Amino acid sequence: GEDVEQSLFLSVREGDSSVINCTYTDSSSTYLYWYKQEPGAGLQLLTYIFSNMDMKQDQRLTVLLNKKDKHLSLRIADTQTGDSAIYFCAEERTGGFKTIFGAGTRLFVKA
């Protein structure tokens, strides 16, 4: 299909790891992104991975990319209440100005 797909909700306990999954659609997409949206705000780029990489680590964040299955995941280690937000997966298709977003996964962090 045309849509970037991700589950709508995830609930974890503070201190646990969170894993947010996404499937994208175009195997030729160059960049895959994770954006974060906090309440009352717009989206903000959290991290990204280039399509020739399998993994990228940035402090508490780990991005895994499986190009064969067109699967992207975001792992947040030691999840904090401040991580509660909506996380959007997005793919950058070739041709310019073609960033396709998912519906967002709302992460709830329980204290």
Contact positions vs another protein (CB under 8 A): 3-4, 8, 30-31, 33, 40-45, 48, 88, 92, 94-104
The residue among 95 and 111 lying less far from another protein, judged by its C-beta, is: 95
Per-residue tokens: 16: 């646990």
Question: In the bound complex, what is the minimum distance in angstroms from residue 25's beta carbon to another protein?
Answer: 11
- Spatial CB neighbours of 46, under 8 Å, sequence gap ≥ 6: 33, 34, 35, 36, 61, 74, 87
CA 36 – CA 58 distance, rounded (Å): 15
The residue among 34 and 79 lying less far from another protein, judged by its C-beta, is: 34
CA 97 – CA 83 distance, rounded (Å): 29
Question: In the bound complex, what is the minimum distance in angstroms from residue 28's beta carbon to another protein?
Answer: 11
The residue among 37 and 62 lying less far from another protein, judged by its C-beta, is: 37
